[in-house]
Each structure stands twice: as C-alpha cells, then as structure tokens.
Chains A and B, each alone.
Chain A
Amino acid sequence: MTKYNPVTDKTVDELKKIVGEKYVIFKDTEKLEPYSHDEIPGKDYAHMPEVVVRPRTKEEISSIMKLANREMIPVTPRGAGSGLSGGAVPIKGGIVLSVDRMNSILEIDRENLMIVVEPGVIANEINESIREFGLFYAGYPMSLETCFIGGNVAENAGGGKAVKYGVTSRYVLGLETVMPTGEIVEFGGKLVKDVTGYNMVQLMIGSEGTLGLFTKIVLKLVPLPKAQVDLLCLFKSSEEAIATVPKIMTTAGITPTSIEYMDKDSVQAACQYLNENIPYQKAGAMLLITVDGSDKEQVEKDYELVGELCIREGAIEVYVADNPTTSERIWKVRRNIPEAFSVFSKRQSGEDIVVPPASIPKIVIEFKKLSEKFGVVIPCYGHAGDGNLHSRISPPPDWTDKKWKETLPLILEELYKVTASLGGRISGEHGIGHKRKKYMRTVVSEEYMNVIKTIKKALDPNYILNPGKIFDL
C-alpha cells in the first residue's frame, strides 16, 4: 500500500501560488462536499477531498503534479462529476483537480473537419458551436447537457448514438496530456492516419484519469445529418422486443443511429414520473429507434422499413416523431428512467454490462432469472443495439440495509459471471472506477490485470494520479 501524506497548510500555500488563491478550496466542508461524489446515488462511494484546485493552464497542472509527486499527495482529476463509477471521487483524499475553468473551444477547423477543445467544455456546447457550419460531433453520451468532454475522453463515454456513430474513442485524434509525473506530452494530432510510435491516444482514452490529464483535445467531426426520425415501438413482451433488435440490422439492413430498449418496469416508472400518457400499460417493452441521414426521403424509406419490421415482429403500435417537439417527448421517456427510479427507490445499483449485440436476448433472460432467484427488481433499459444494457438492481422495500449490502455482491458476482460467459464485460460506458474494481477478475484474466498494472506503474511510479481506480496496487 502506498503511504500518502496529508495536505498541509504549506502545500496549500504552494497550490495557491500555482493557480491563484481564488481557485483553491481548503478547510471549507460546505464547498468541498460537492467534490466528494459523482452521480452514483447515495453516499456509498463518496469520499471527501482535502483540497480542491481549479487550474487554468497545462503549465499549472504540470506544476501541481510535480508538487504532488514531491509531497506524496494523491491527485484525482475531475470533470463535471457526472460519472457513474466513482472515477472522479478522491477515495484517498488529497487533491481534487477540477478542469472546469479550462472550458474554451480553441479552434473550429472547417477544412479538416476537426475541433480543438479544452477538457472543461460541456459536450453539448461543441455541437452548439458547429451546428451553423453543418457539422456534428457524434461521440457524446446521454448526459450531454452537463458532462465535460475531458471526462468523456477519460471514460471513453458512449451514448445513444453508438450503434451508428460509435463511442468517444472513434472521434479523438489528438490529446495534449500532462503525465502523472508532470511532463507535458502531445499524443496524436490533426491526423486521420498516424502510426508514428505507439497508439498513445487510444491508450489514454478510457484510462479513467489514471494515466494522464488532458489539456487539449482534437476531435473529428462529421457532416450534420439533415433528417432524423425517431420511432417508439410498443411490444407485448420483452422477448419480442429484444428479439427484434438484431433483425433491424440483419433483416431490414439498416444501421439506425440508436436502438434503445426499455422493459416494462423502466417504461412504467418513467411514464408515471413524467405523467406521459402513451398507452404504456399495454406494453411489455418498448424500443426507441432513431434513423438519420443526409436525405429526407431516404430517412423516410428507412424508418418505414424499420417500422414495418417491428410490426411484423409483433409490435402493437409504432409511433413516429419527425419534429423536435415529438422527438423530445419520446426521448424524455428514455432519458428519465434513471431519475424515475431514483425517486421510487433510494437503494439501487446501476449496472452497465455489455455483451456482443446478438447476445442481448440471452442476457435479458438471465436478468429475469437473477431477479426471481434473489427476489429483487432488475429493470433493464439501454442501448441494446450496441449490446450495452443498463439495469437498476433494487431490493424490495422490506429489506434491511444489512441484507441489501450482503446480497448485492452475490447478485453482481452471478450477473458478471453470466456476462463473461457470453463474452461480455462488466462496463460498457460508465467505467470501473472504484465501484466495480473488485469484480474485474470475473471478466478478465490475471495476466490482463498484470499488463495494465505494469503500464500504470511505468507511467505513475509514485501512484499519485487517481489511485484506487480500476484496480489496487
């Protein structure tokens, strides 16, 4: 175990010299508290930082890292704090390094179809800034209105559009990075092809803030789709709905932008929470399917093919949203599921497993089995089309906290083993953080763990940057 030193007044003075007095939070519990957690409900994974610093430049970050290495103080990088695996939580105390002030869009490069941004830019702002040029950044997650692009890169965030557009990593071409020991290094750049040395960009993406801090990010852009239509398809049973998912691509031959699956519990919770009157009581499950493209007529043809397929596969109704108001109404149901469950049940474990897309029907059956075996509720929803399924495991109201805390690991152990047997992994887009680290071995080998630990040790010999995440050293 690495022994860290507490943050002293002297260290705080040095931090103030680096970033300015205004941008250091110390000994003020009220102001430090927001930096102690991310968006995992409850306080189980929270931990208070000793000090928060809010640098503005890469040089300041470099100085902070050098100071932290000298003083043996852990540093936890933080974006918007909208994560779901504890990645930004300072579990060893020490310094939280917030990139919220580094929020400039540095360059919109219309000739190369690229944008250069700082890590504290809100994902949605990127699209706001390039819409007028007919451009689009497609890698953003569901929390696009709050999350920072730096966090997206660190977690390799995915989202609703991954079926067609893939996840964050597909769009990151360059990263200016401050290494755990304080050196500033450029990885990649405005290059579509680049095999000069190791592919460090892709190593950094999804490293959950354990290998480096990004200070400048080069993103690839695509032409903004001119037409988009959402279909909300109501099915009698979850089996019918989920069986339709792979057929959309294989039988109908269309790659939709997204295919979101929502089971009965998820739909009911969200519709009740929103006072939405679509006839959800009749539905055993729903699919939300989006198709987009550069040609309106083609998009019409595509959605008709998908809609007809759904009806053939047993959909009892297919709703069509081809304008922003109706589209928003449909997506609101999907987006509000987590929030709706938080209102109905305080105790829950948000899961994020991913399996090969064709195995989705199998894993849904396994969820049902687990739910019956342990007597818990496991509503499922998520990106289905890309094999990534979310669920919120919740205990019955009469369970004591003790029983819940004892049973949950047993449920997770079984769930993850089944996931592994299907060739899946325990997190598709939320990350491991410290929430899932003890389950890593259920899906990856000892040798795999050794490789990633070796990388960590080589780049961060003092174990300063975001310790206790993904694994323990």
Chain B
Amino acid sequence: MRIVVPIKQVPETKSVKMDEKTGTVIREGVESIINPLDLYAIEIAVQLKESNGGEVIAVSMGPPKAIDALKEAIAMGVDSAVLVSDRAFAGSDTWATSYVLAEAIRKIGEYDLIICGERATDGDTGQVGPEIAAYLQLPVLSYVNKVCGTKDGDISVHRLVEEGSEILESEMPCLLTVVKEVSDPRLPTLRGKQKARKAVIPVFGIKELDLDPRKVGLAGSPTKVVKIFRPKVARECEKIIARDEEKIKEAAGKLEAFLKKKEIL
C-alpha cells in the first residue's frame, strides 16, 4: 500500500504574536512545527503501512525550512518525503496550493491513498485536502474519525457528523481528511531522528513539475485578502448576586428580563 500524506509547516500557535498595525502574524523568532492536525494523518498512515505493508510518503509545500517538518515526519515512521518549494509558489492561496500539490503527487507516482489533516491551524480553511482530490479526480472521504480497514481495493471508514458517525466505503485510490479521533500520534524516536537526519529529500520546483506560472503563486490565486482586522467583542456583563431564597427569586426575575432584553429568550 502506497500512502501520500501532504503536511504543512505552521507557526507554533502559543508563541505567535500579531502585528497590531498590519493585523498580520509576526513570523520572526517563532518556532515552526508540523500542523498539529497533520500528525493524526501521519499516524494513521503509518499504522496502515504497519498492518498492510507498503510505504508512506510525506509531501509539503513551503519554504526550504519546511524540510524540518518533513524530517520530523520521517522520525515518526514515514518512509520518504518530498519538498515542494519555489519562490514562484509564494502567495499561493488554497486553490493554487492544491494545484501544485496535486501535480507533485502525480509526479510521485502510483498511490492507493492520500491522507490529509482536517485543516491547518494557521489558515484554518480545510480546503486543500478536498481540492487536491478535485484536481486528481479522486473520491473524498472527509472528517474521518475511524479507519475500519481495507479489502479488495476498497477502504471503509467512519465519518464524524454532528449526530454521530456515518460509515463510508470507497474504492481506492481516494483521499481522506482525518479528525483528531482517528488516531493518537506517536512521538518521534531516536532511531527515527537518526534516519531522518540521513534522509535525502528531493525538492520539486516549478521546473521539475512543469507548471504554468500563471496558475501558481499570487497570479494563480483567486483569493484576494482585502483587509485584515480584529473583530470587536463587546461584553456587557451584569453581575447578579443572591445568597438567600428571596434574593434568588428576585435574581431569577432579573436574569429573565436581561435575557429577554438581549432577545435570547
């Protein structure tokens, strides 16, 4: 079984600071990590490889630094990795990113599964996974919270929905986007780290992938960021304190009136 796992390197959210004036993220001095939700995709991919045999290939689009994320994936049990990196890709939105990643996956060759994390913690769109599937014309099984197994070229999974889960079956190849419940990511090991340090990670750029420059980067991105601002949250608090029975009744009345005024009741 050959599984491709697209991952993203993101800033560590706890240490992220915002530039108050421009509303953008200050990236200097911020540690970069594998998108936390991608760890679940890596874990389930490695588990599937362990039970079915085969290989797991991680692919990441980003600056040269993203190689660290790919090495971490190898330390967790991924077999090999590909970095997709080119100055021309800078400014790509989810549409252009999916296009580039889809082409990179095509170049990687035959595969049975593509497993993505549900979304990245920085952009928070959840679009790239399904869009890769669209480019590659693959079935999408999204919000997967359990992989039941594979049989005769089919895969069976549970999809998390509001009221519970749905059981889905699809032929492979197909693309899964997974949620946290699907697995518990393992920790990278010493042996894994040593393997990762030695790993040779090929870099695919615009030339290697033979892409149309008009379809990548800012030029290929229909999404335009017009303005970034902080939504204003105004909290109007009213404290009602009641310690004896009479006061509690009175307080309940006040609370009712307050909620009615706010059109909550």
Contacts and interface: CB of A to CB of B under 8 A. Distances in A.
Contacts of A323: 12, 31-33, 72
A277 B184 contact: yes
Interface string A310-325: 0100000111111111
B125 interface: no
A319 B188 contact: yes
Interface residues of B, number: 20
A232 B31 contact: no
A232 B32 CA distance: 21
A320 B188 CA distance: 6
Nearest to A321: B187
Interface in B135-186: 184, 186
A330 B12 contact: no
A326 B188 contact: yes
Given A320-B75, A323-B12, A323-B72, A307 B31 contact: no
Interface string B45-72: 0000000000000000000000000001
A304 B14 contact: no
A257 to B, nearest CB: 18
A25 interface: no
B219 to A, nearest CB: 34
Contacts of A175: none
B12 A307 contact: no
Contacts of B186: 278
A231 interface: yes
B189 A318 contact: yes
Interface in B177-213: 184, 186-194, 197
A177 to B, nearest CB: 37
Interface of B is mostly: helix
Given A323-B72, A324-B15, A318 B190 contact: yes
A329 interface: yes
Contacts, number: 46
Nearest to B194: A304
B130 interface: no
Interface in B1-52: 12, 14-15, 31-33, 36
B35 to A, nearest CB: 10
B197 to A, nearest CB: 8
A232 B191 CA distance: 13
Contacts of B191: 318
A311 B194 CA distance: 14
Tell which of B75, B184, B191, B193 has the most Cβ of chain A within 10 Å: B193
A307 B184 CA distance: 24
Given A277-B184, A304-B194, A325-B12, A320 B36 contact: no
A330 B189 CA distance: 13
A324 B31 contact: yes
Contacts of B194: 304
B190 A231 contact: yes
A318 B14 CA distance: 26
Interface in A322-356: 322-326, 329-330
B187 A278 contact: yes
Nearest to B13: A325
A188 B194 CA distance: 49
A324 B12 contact: yes
Tell which of A278, A300, A317, A326 has the most Cβ of chain B within 10 Å: A326
Nearest to A229: B193
A308 B190 CA distance: 8
Contacts of B188: 319-321, 326
A304 B190 contact: yes
A319 B189 contact: yes
A318 B194 CA distance: 12
Contact of A320 (B32, B184, B193): B193
Contact of A319 (B32, B187, B197): B187
Contacts of A277: 184
B244 to A, nearest CB: 16
B187 A329 contact: yes
A307 B165 CA distance: 42
Contacts of A278: 186-187
Contacts of A318: 189-191
A232 B189 CA distance: 9
Interface in B73-110: 75
Nearest to B68: A323
Given A304-B194, A323-B33, A323-B72, A232 B187 contact: yes
Nearest to B29: A132
A326 B187 CA distance: 7
B54 to A, nearest CB: 23
Interface in A262-308: 277-278, 300, 304, 307-308
Interface of B: 12, 14-15, 31-33, 36, 72, 75, 184, 186-194, 197
29 contacts: A231-B190, A232-B187, A278-B186, A278-B187, A308-B190, A311-B190, A317-B189, A318-B189, A318-B190, A319-B187, A319-B189, A319-B190, A320-B75, A320-B187, A320-B189, A320-B190, A320-B193, A321-B188, A323-B31, A323-B32, A323-B33, A323-B72, A324-B12, A324-B15, A324-B31, A324-B33, A325-B33, A325-B36, A329-B187
Given A304-B194, A308-B190, 10 more contacts: A231-B190, A232-B187, A278-B187, A318-B189, A319-B190, A320-B75, A320-B189, A320-B193, A323-B72, A330-B187
